[in-house]
């Protein structure tokens, strides 16, 4: 028999007590794993939408209302005006027009500065970005599939031939089916160099986007409006962070409650096995070996709890999350957190009872009835 | 022959000195000797035996067993593991382990592999006639069989000294004599020093020497015959 097998045999001698301890720790682990799955699921959903390097907020004409991609226009001069507002790092205008594209009588053509595509949350997945003022477009992946277009094909826009040079992906559903070219080209095409639809604004490092947006609203609120959907997403991200913090809070609670539970279980177990521990000492077991045995038994209970809790947590998440339209994401960190906590609880919960067992004088232990 | 046990003026008290369990014991035991310790209940027999096995430490005096100075040495678990085999009145087997696993328990202190442990434990069980019960739980065994398992366990690490504290105290006389025969055979075959605490005079007189304890003192330590002994019962 190996020492490990001996340790594995002990915790389940009093099944009820062990099951109770497992139950207690399991609840903590389930919450941690489920919360981890939900949080990561939310994070990945929102990270799809707000790519790093994206704009902090956008600006549109007053009459456009809250739609960031309306077709109402504002004067191109706003680009320079907004760029001079303090706290603004970069401004990119976009020009959204409805025109004939390919076999569609009306579709959305968006003009943007080639350097501004990251702010518009466009990620090139194939080919390259268009060059300024060239008859080149990039098209959304959805659109490409729909129209059976690929890089190198050409497409007619308002009677003029354009070459598809790239395919992009975006988390922004408004733009998934659109066609992009340079804003200069759109100006040419529309014969209107003075109009733009929206401005994408990125604030300077260390500036609060909300403060900068409020500043713009205060200065030019009569004519333009800031659209903060991007900021709201960031506030969402902040909320997710607090969800993650809550998960750590619950972990701490699980450590305390689970720790007390396991201490209680192990103390009872040590107490009931007083004679047996006396025998182990009599046959020459060192204090260290006895300590290892008790802490090992405690770890068996907590690690088993972590396994059961993880399985239940994942199962519950997979079952319940789709009901609220969320796809849970389980990453390694969540399980590292769950098992880490189980191991910490196992060690601290086992150490005190183990020290009790070690301190027991063997003669007392053997006299114990 | 050299002495395996040397005790000088050994004192041990409990309850803050109110109970003098051992009150100045002087005793030497030769290697390979079979000694029985008798005396009334509460006279200090178990305390003396526990001292010999380093389960307890003396208040004063010196005690030397198998080359270890037990009043100062710190390596006592090693001493217990390598030199001593205990047999208690109650078998003290671990209930959730099989018979053979119980015999393996002391071997965890050695560097033996799992398979070496198993084969040695089976050999020891064969020696006490219980090989066929190796995989059973102790609860399935009779009292005498359990005590034989305890003897096999005591022999696990080839001890120099076997300390038996009323090993037959909870058994009927027929089973008792069987157990004793086994212990004595062992002592003869392996030349193990055997020290048995008992209140059974029939058991005591089988020994090379009978030591009598009364109120924590030896009243008779060297007599090899029972003829001129005060029998306390
Ligand atoms: N661990 C202990 N704590 C307190 N008193 C003890 C302890 N061990 C033994 N004694 C006391 O010491 C005396 C001798 O006990 P013991 O050696 O067990 O006697 P015996 O084995 O001869 O019956 C008794 O009075 C007993 O109550
Ligand atoms: Mg006794």
The ipTM, to two decimals, is 0.90
Strands (E), chain A: 57-61, 74-75, 88-101, 104-112, 123-127, 136-140, 154-157, 160-169, 179-182, 195-196, 198-203, 224-227
**Distance between Cα B12 and ligand 1 center (Å):** 10
Answer yes or no: is B228 within a domain: no
Q: Which residues in chain A are contacts of B101 at CB distance < 8 A?
A: 1, 6
Residue B227 lies in a domain: no
Contact criterion met (CB < 8 Å) for B81 and A283: yes
Q: State both tokens at A85.
A: 């507002």
Q: Tokens representing A94? A: 């976009």
* pLDDT for the residue A256: 86
Query: One digit per residue, pLDDT tens: chain A, 369 residues?
Result: 889 999 999 988 888 888 988 988 998 899 889 988 888 887 776 655 544 446 778 887 776 444 444 457 888 889 989 999 989 988 888 888 888 998 888 888 999 888 877 777 778 889 999 999 899 999 988 889 888 999 999 999 998 999 999 999 876 666 777 899 999 999 988 888 888 888 888 888 888 888 888 888 888 888 887 776 555 666 666 777 787 788 788 878 887 888 888 999 999 999 999 989 999 999 999 999 999 999 999 999 999 999 999 999 999 999 988 887 778 889 898 999 999 999 999 999 999 999 999 988 888 888 766
With bands split at pLDDT 50, 70 and 90, how would you rate the model's confidence at B49? very high
Band of residue B139 on the pLDDT scale cut at 50, 70, 90: very high
Residue B105 is part of which domain span? Answer: 3-220
pLDDT at B43 over 80: yes
CATH of the domain at B139: 3.40.50.300
As a whole number of Å, the end-to-end CA separation of chain B is 33
Question: Based on the structure, what is the number of domains in chain B?
Answer: 1
HSE-up (13 A, CA, CB side) for residue A303: 11
Looking at residue A180, its pLDDT comes to 93
Pocket of ligand 1 (CB under 6 A): A 363-364, 367; B 14-15, 19, 21, 39, 41-47
Angle at CA of residue A61, ends A55 and A64, nearest 5° = 100
Domain range list for chain A? 3-47+235-367, 63-222
Compute the distance from residue B42 Cα to the ligand 1 centre, in Å. Answer: 6
Q: Taking CB atoms and an 8 Å limit, are B77 and A281 in contact across chains?
A: yes
In a domain, residue B232? The reply is no
Q: Given pLDDT bands bounded at 50, 70 and 90, which one contains residue B24?
A: very high
Looking at the complex, report in whole angstroms how far the Cα of residue A2 sits from the nearest Cα belonging to chain B.
Answer: 6
> What pLDDT digit, counting tens, does each position of B170-217 carry?
788 888 888 888 889 889 888 899 999 988 888 888 899 999 999 999
Q: Indicate which ligand has the atom closest to the C-alpha of B45.
A: 1
Is there a contact between B50 and A363 if contact means CB atoms under 8 Å apart? Answer: yes
Average pLDDT, rounded, for chain B:
89
Distance from C-alpha of B229 to C-alpha of A335, rounded to nearest angstrom:
74
Q: Which pLDDT belongs to residue A46?
A: 63
């Amino acid at each position: 028999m190996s020492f490990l097998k001996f340790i594995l045999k002990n915790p389940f001698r009093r099944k009820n007590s062990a099951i109770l301890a497992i139950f207690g720790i399991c609840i903590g682990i389930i919450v941690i794993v489920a919360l981890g799955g939900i949080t990561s699921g939310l994070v990945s959903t929102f990270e799809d939408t707000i790519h790093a390097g994206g704009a902090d907020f956008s600006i549109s004409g007053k009459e456009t209302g809250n739609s960031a991609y309306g077709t109402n226009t504002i004067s191109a001069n706003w680009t320079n005006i907004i760029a001079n507002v303090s706290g603004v790092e970069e401004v990119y205008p976009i020009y959204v027009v409805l025109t004939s594209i390919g076999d569609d009588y009306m579709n959305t053509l968006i003009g943007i500065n080639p350097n501004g595509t990251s702010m518009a949350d466009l990620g090139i997945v194939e080919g390259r970005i268009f060059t300024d003022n060239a008859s080149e477009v990039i098209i959304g992946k959805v659109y490409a599939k729909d129209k059976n277009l690929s890089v190198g094909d050409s497409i007619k826009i308002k009677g003029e031939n354009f070459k598809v040079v790239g395919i992009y992906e975006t988390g922004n559903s408004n733009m998934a089916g659109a066609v992009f070219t340079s804003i200069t080209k759109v100006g040419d095409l529309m014969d209107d160099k003075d109009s733009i639809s929206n401005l994408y604004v990125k604030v300077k490092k260390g500036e609060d986007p909300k403060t900068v947006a409020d500043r713009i609203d205060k200065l030019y609120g009569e004519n333009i409006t800031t659209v903060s959907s991007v900021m709201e997403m960031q506030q969402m991200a902040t909320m997710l962070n607090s969800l993650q913090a809550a998960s750590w809070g619950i972990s701490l609670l699980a450590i305390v409650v689970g720790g007390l539970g396991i201490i209680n279980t192990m103390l009872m177990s040590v107490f009931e096995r007083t004679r047996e521990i006396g025998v182990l000492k009599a046959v020459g077991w060192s204090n260290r070996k006895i300590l290892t045995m008790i802490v090992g038994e405690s770890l068996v209970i907590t690690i088993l709890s972590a396994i059961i809790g993880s399985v239940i947590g994942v199962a519950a998440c997979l079952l319940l999350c789709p009901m609220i339209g969320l796809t849970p994401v389980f990453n390694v960190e969540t399980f590292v957190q769950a098992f880490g906590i189980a191991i910490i609880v196992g060690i601290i919960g086992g150490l005190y009872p183990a020290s009790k067992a070690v301190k027991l004088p063997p003669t007392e232990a053997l006299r114990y009835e | 022959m050299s002495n395996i046990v040397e005790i000088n003026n050994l004192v041990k008290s409990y309850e803050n000195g109110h109970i003098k369990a051992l009150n100045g014991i002087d005793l030497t035991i030769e290697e390979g000797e079979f000694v029985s310790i008798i005396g009334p209940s509460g006279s200090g027999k178990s305390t003396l035996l526990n001292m010999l096995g380093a389960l307890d430490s003396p208040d004063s005096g010196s005690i030397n067993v198998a080359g270890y100075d037990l009043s100062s040495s710190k390596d006592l678990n090693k001493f217990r593991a390598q030199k001593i085999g205990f047999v208690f009145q109650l078998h003290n087997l671990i209930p959730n382990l099989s018979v053979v696993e119980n015999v393996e328990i002391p071997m965890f202190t050695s560097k033996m592999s799992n398979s070496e442990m198993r084969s040695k434990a089976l050999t020891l069980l064969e020696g006490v006639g219980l090989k066929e019960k190796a995989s059973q739980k102790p609860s399935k065994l009779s009292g005498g069989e359990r005590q034989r398992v305890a003897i096999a366990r005591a022999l696990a690490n080839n001890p120099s000294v076997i300390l038996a504290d009323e090993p037959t105290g909870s058994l009927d006389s027929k089973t008792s004599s069987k157990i004793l025969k086994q212990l004595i055979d062992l002592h003869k075959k392996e030349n193990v020093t055997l020290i048995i605490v008992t209140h059974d005079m029939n058991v005591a007189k089988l020994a090379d020497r009978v030591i009598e304890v009364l109120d924590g003192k030896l009243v008779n330590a060297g007599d090899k015959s029972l003829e001129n002994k005060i029998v306390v019962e």
